[in-house]
Amino acid sequence: MTAFKLAVVSAGLSKPSSTRLLADRLAESTVRRLALEGREVEVTVVELRDLAVDIANNFVTGFPAAALRGAIGTVTGADAVIAVTPIFTASYNGLFKSFFDLVDHDALTGKPVLIAATGGTPRHSLALEHAVRPLFSYLRAVVLPTAVYAATDDWGTAGDALTDGLPGRIDRAAGELAALLAGRAPAAEAAAVPEQVVPFAEQLAALRV
C-alpha cells in the first residue's frame, strides 16, 4: 500500500525551537494514529529557517534556488501539510508568510492542513483564527477544525487526550488529520490509476437516450 506523504513546515527561528518541537509532536501523533489504521506515512520536514536567504533572493530575482524549489515541491506534492509558526506581533512571522506567498495559489486546493503556532503567552492564541486560518482558507486548503497553540507555560503542563492540556490538543488535532487522510487514497496511488476516457461518440449517444 502506498504511503501518505506528510509535509511538516516549521517557521521557528531558533535552535532548538519550540515551534519545531510542536511540529514534530503533531507529526508523531498523526503517524501513530494512521499506523493504527495500517497506513504508512512518509514525513518530510521543511525548516524555513534554513531557506530564509533563498526565500528573500527569490522575491528579488524571481527564481527559486534548488533547495527552495524542492521545499515548495515537498509541500505541494504532499497528501497533507502540518504548518507551524511562531506568533510575532499578533500574527504569523514574516518567514512563514513569505514562503507561502511563493506557493502557487491553486497548489493547496483541497489539501488537508493542520495549523499550529507557538508564543510566549496564551493571549496570542487567537492569531491562529484571525491570521493563520484565513491564509490557508484563501489558498482553498481544507483547514482542520482544531488548531493547536502552545504558549511557553504549556510545555510544563500534564495532559492527555481527555484533557485540554497541550498533549490533549495535539492528540485531538492529529486525530482529525489522521481520520481525514484514512478516508482518502494517497495522491501517488490515485495518479497511478489510468483515467477512463469515454469516446465522444459514446457521450453523444448517451445524451440521445
Residue-wise pLDDT for 59-69, tens only, equals 999 999 999 99
Alpha carbon distance, N-terminus to C-terminus of the chain: 41
From CA 167, how far away is CA 147, in angstroms rounded? 13
Q: What is the DSSP letter of 3?
A: P
| pLDDT for position 193 | 47
188, pLDDT greater than 90? no
Q: Which residues contact 10 (CB under 8 A, 6 or more apart)?
A: 17, 19, 20, 23, 45, 46, 47, 48, 49, 84
| pLDDT for position 189 | 67
199, pLDDT greater than 70? no
pLDDT-derived band of residue 5, with 50, 70 and 90 as boundaries? very high
Q: Which residues contact 43 (CB under 8 A, 6 or more apart)?
A: 6, 8, 27, 31
Q: What is the mean pLDDT of residues 16-31?
A: 97
Question: Which has more pLDDT, 183 or 83?
Answer: 83
pLDDT-derived band of residue 191, with 50, 70 and 90 as boundaries? low
Average pLDDT, the chain: 90
| pLDDT for position 161 | 45
- pTM for the model stands at 0.87
